[in-house]
Chains A and B, each alone.
Chain A
Amino acid sequence: MPVTIGGFVRAILVVGAVSGPAAAAEAADIKPAVVFDLGTKYDKSFNEGVFNGTERFRKEFNVPVAEFEPANETQFEQAHRRFAQRGQDPILAVGFNQASVVDRIAKDFPDTRFSLIDGVSKLPNVQSVLFREQEGSFLVGMLAAMASKTGKVGFVGGMDIPLIRRFACGYGQGVRYADAKAELIQNMTGTTPSAWNDPGRGAELARGQFDRGVDVVFAAAGATGLGVLQAAKDAGKLSIGVDSNQNHLHPGSVLTSMVKRVDVAAFDSFKEARDGTWKGGVSVLGLKDGAIDWALDDNNKALITADMKSRVDAAKADIISGKIKVVDYMEGNSCPP
C-alpha cells in the first residue's frame, strides 16, 4: 500500500511539474537510500559525515533512509541495482569509487535519481557534488604553519589518488603562504581503498613524521586519520582533522578540522528530492557556499590565537573574492613547488 501511495504522489508530482512550478513544490513521499563508501559507516570522518546528514533528514522529516555498507568493490553495483529495483529514490552514492557504477546503473534506471558525492557522471538523472577541498586545505595549512614551533608540518593522505593530492597541494600552498620557510613532509597511506581504513598505519606514519621534527600533522585519510590523531595526542603534538569536525576527538590536541560538509550535501540532496527541486548536473561547492570551512569551537579555541584567526579569516575572504588563487591539483595533475 505505501508503494502505491508513493507512486501515486510521484505521478501527481510529474503532472505538477508539467502543469506548473507551484505544484512541483509540494513535498513528495520519497524513499531515499544511501550506499556508503568503503571503510565503515562510523569512521568519524567522511562516511559518518554523510550519515549525520541522512540521519538529520530522517529525524526532521520522519522519512526512513535505507542504507548499505559495502564490504568490497563488487558490492557497489548490487547495492545500487537492488535499491533501484526496490523503488528507492533518490539514491545517494558516497565517494569517487562509485562513479563508474552509478554511470552504469543510472542508465538502466532512467527514472531513478542518483546523487554522487566526489564523482562525476554526465547522465541527466545524476546529480554530481564536488568540493573545492584545496580551499579549506589552504586555510588549515596556514593554521598549521602558524601553530608549528619547529617550522615543520606533516600531511598524511589516505589512498594516493588525485583527490587526496588536491588536499595535499592546497595544504602545502597554505603552509607556504603563512610561512615561506616552513617545511612540509607528506606521506600517503597506500594505493588501494584499504588505505582509508588503516588507523595503525596512520599512527605509524605520523610517528615517523614526528621523529623528523614535525609538530603539526594534517590527516586526510578517512578512518586511517583516527590513528594519526591518536598518535599526535600520545606524542603531545597537534593534528588537523578532516571532513567532519573532529575537534572533539582529542580536545587540546586537534588544532582544527578541514570541514567538508558532506552532511549538508547528503541532506540537501534528499531534501531537494522531497521538495521537488532536485536537479541533475554537476555542482562544485567551496568556501563561498559554506560547504568547505575550518572548524573553530570550544574544543580548540585555546589553540587558536586571535592573530591566527584574523590572518586565516582574511585569507578566507581573499579566496572567496578571488584575490588569492588556490591551485587545484586536479586541473593540471601538478602542484606548484
Chain B
Amino acid sequence: MRAGGTLPRWAELGLVPLLDVLCAFLAAALVVLAIGVSPLAVLRAILAGALGDAGALGYTLYYATNFVFTGLAVALAFHAGLFNIGGEGQAILGGLGTGLVALALDRVLPGWLLLPVAIAAAALFGAGWAAIPAWLQARRGSHIVITTIMFNFIAAALLVYLLVNVLIAPGSMSPETRAFQPAASLPLAHDGLRALGFAAAPSPLNASGLVALAAAAAVWFTLWHTRFGYRLRVMGLNPGAALYAGIPIGRMTVGVLCLSGALAGMVGINEILGVQHRLILNFSAGYGFGGIAVALMGRNHPAGIVLASLLFGILNQGGAEISFDIPAVSREMVTVIQGLVILFSGALAGFSRPLARGLLAFAGAALSRRAGAPASREG
C-alpha cells in the first residue's frame, strides 16, 4: 500500500500537523503547570474565550482574517521559491494606502464607491512596497530575505514619521489620524446578521473576512489552474529548468512578489477600514511574521492556510481572554504558549512524523489482528 518511510497523503496533511499541535500543547501545559496553574483551566479559558459565544467567535475570525492574508502572501511567494519576510512592512503600507484614500475621499465619495477604491489602494501600496525588493532581486541579485526584512523597518519608520509629523489629528497627543467618516467603514458581520434577523454580539469581524476567503480561492485557482501559476511553480521547483523553458524569471519574480505584497497589504483593510476607522501605529501587530508560521503549518496550501489561520486566531483571541479569567497567566505567559505552538508546528514541523508512523503501524496491526490476518510488517 505504501512505501517504507512515507505516510499516506491524509496522514501527512492531517495527522502530522495535528500531532505537532498536540505536542506543543503538552509542552505548554508543562510550562503552565510550573507556575502553578491548572493546564486544563487554561485550555478551557482559551477555548471558551475564543469559541464560547458569537462575540468571541467573531474576534477569533477577525484575527484569523489577518493571518489568512499574510499566510497566503508567504505561501504564494514560497511556491515560486521566494521567501517574502516583508509581510509586516507590506501590511503597514497597505494600511497606509487605504487610510490615505479614506482620509482624502471619505467626505466626497459614497461608501459603495469609496470602499473598493480604498481596498484597491491597500493592494496597490502593499504591492508597491514589495516591488522594490523584488526589482532589486531580479536586476541586482540583492537577496530578497535581507531586503524585505529591511523594508519592514523602513515601513515602520515611515508610518511613525507620517503619523507624528503629518497626519496626526490636531490637538491629539497620541499619534493617530482623525476618525474616518462612516462611509469609509467596511460592513461589520454582526450588523449584517442583524439585518438578516439574527441577533449577534458585536465583534470586529467585518467584510474583509469574505475578502480573505475569496483571496484564498483566488490563490488556489491561480497556482494550479492558470499558466501564470504553472510558471510560478516551475520556477519554485527548478529555476534552471524554468529559465531553459523560456520563463522570464526576472519578470516573474517582480510579478509574484507584487501579488504577495498586495495580499499582505490587505491586512490594512481589516484593521483600518474594518476595525480602527483611523490610522494608528502598530496595527500590523506582528501578523506579517505570524503569516510565515501559518504558511508553514498550512503546508503552503490555501485550505491548510485557512485552517492554520483559524488555530492562530483561536490562540490570539483565547490568549487575550486568559488574562481576563486567570490573572496569574500574564501577557508574557500567553506569548510563551503561542511561541511553543509556532516552534512545534513551524520550526519543528513534521517532528512528530515518526510518532504518526508508529500510530499508523499500531492501528494497522490492531486492525489486521482483528480481521484474523497476521500483522503486516510493512508499516
A residues with a Cβ closer than 8 A to B are 66-69, 71-75, 77-79, 81-83, 85-86, 96-97, 99-100, 108, 119, 160-163, 191-193
Contacts and interface: CB of A to CB of B under 8 A. Distances in A.
Top 8 closest pairs, chain A to chain B, by CB: A96-B173, A191-B164, A161-B173, A97-B174, A72-B282, A69-B331, A72-B285, A73-B280
Interface in B308-324: 320-321, 323-324
Interface string B197-215: 0000110100000000000
A86 B160 contact: no
B281 A86 contact: no
A254 to B, nearest CB: 27
A73 B272 CA distance: 12
A191 B55 contact: no
B176 A100 contact: yes
Given A191-B160, A192-B281, 5 more contacts: A67-B327, A74-B283, A81-B202, A82-B324, A96-B173
Contact of B59 (A66, A73, A78): A78
B175 interface: yes
A283 to B, nearest CB: 18
B164 A77 contact: no
B337 to A, nearest CB: 14
B271 A191 contact: no
Contacts of B59: 78
Contacts of A160: 164
A12 to B, nearest CB: 27
Given A96-B173, A192-B160, A73 B281 contact: yes
A96 B174 contact: yes
Interface in B325-361: 327, 330-331, 335
B179 interface: yes
Given A73-B281, A74-B271, A99 B174 contact: yes
Contacts of B320: 75, 78-79
A100 B174 contact: yes
B324 A71 contact: no
Interface in B134-168: 160, 164
Given A69-B331, A73-B282, A100 B323 contact: no
A85 B275 contact: no
A81 B202 CA distance: 9
B222 interface: no
A97 B331 CA distance: 19
Interface residues of B, number: 30
A127 to B, nearest CB: 18
A74 B179 CA distance: 15
B198 to A, nearest CB: 18
Contact of A68 (B201, B283, B324): B324
A293 B2 CA distance: 78
A85 B201 contact: yes
Contacts of A163: 173
B278 interface: yes
B205 to A, nearest CB: 12
Contacts of A68: 323-324
B275 A77 contact: yes
A100 B281 CA distance: 14
Interface in B48-73: 55, 59
A66 B321 CA distance: 12
Nearest to A69: B331
B88 to A, nearest CB: 13
A337 to B, nearest CB: 24
Contacts of A82: 321, 324
21 contacts: A66-B327, A69-B330, A69-B331, A74-B275, A74-B285, A75-B320, A77-B276, A78-B59, A78-B320, A79-B320, A82-B324, A85-B201, A96-B174, A100-B176, A119-B173, A161-B174, A191-B160, A191-B175, A192-B160, A192-B164, A192-B282
A85 B59 CA distance: 13
Contact of B324 (A66, A97, A119): A66
Nearest to A103: B179
B196 to A, nearest CB: 21
A99 B176 CA distance: 11
Contacts of B164: 160, 191-192
Interface string B222-265: 00000000000000000000000000000000000000000000
B201 A100 contact: no
Of B176, B285, B321, B331, most buried by chain A (CB within 10 Å of CB) is: B331
Contacts of B174: 96-97, 99-100, 161, 193
